[in-house]
Amino acid sequence: MSIRPARPEDAARVAAIVEAAYTPWVAQIGQRPGPLDDDYAARVAAGETFVLEAGGAISGILVLEDHPDHLLLDNIAVDPARKGMGDGRVLLDFAEAEAKRRGFTEIRLYTHQKMAANIAIYLKRGYVETGRRVDKGLPRVFMAKLLAG
């Protein structure tokens, strides 16, 4: 497995992975998750998107945003066909290492309040809940993790 910055020709595959990963949540949370409506061509062009390749194919994606005092993990998605193969862990490890590489001591993320499984994963990884509020029409849980130097 390897992670690299996404290229313009990857945008359609990035969007397809996000669609496959997030569409099953629609019934559970009662609305479209925010990542389903993002512009991945723009995200790729902005240099914010990374892809995980496994066996020569893109199997996961990350969208990372620099902020003045932290790195925001805006999106992480894995092809459901690769569920349970460790791709999500590899992507999360990369995001945290990338935050350190960029000189940040904190990484932040958010998820939908009804995505309890995701919240549990992040808590297990050392993230702490920093707040809950409606953001862009979605009830979100905000989380952060301080990164050891």
Half-sphere exposure of 105 (CA within 13 A, CB side): 2
Q: In 23-114, where does DSSP find H-type helix?
A: 25-29, 40-45, 87-101
pLDDT of residue 43: 97
| Residues 58, 109: Cα–Cα separation, whole Å | 23
Average of per-residue pLDDT across 91-118:
95
Q: Summarize pLDDT for 62-76 with one digit per residue, the tens.
A: 999 999 999 999 999
pLDDT of residue 1: 86
pLDDT of residue 27: 86
Q: Torsions phi, psi of 12, nearest 5?
A: -65, -40
Confidence of residue 149 (pLDDT cuts 50, 70, 90): low
> 2-105, which class in CATH?
alpha beta
Average of per-residue pLDDT across 75-79:
95
| Residues 58, 79: Cα–Cα separation, whole Å | 8
pTM exceeds 0.75 for this model = yes
Which uninterrupted H or E stretch holds 14?
helix 11-22
| Residues 26, 34: Cα–Cα separation, whole Å | 11
What percentage of residues in the chain have a pLDDT greater than 70?
99
Average of per-residue pLDDT across 114-124:
92
Q: Summarize pLDDT for 18-45 with one digit per residue, the tens.
A: 999 989 888 888 878 888 889 999 999 9
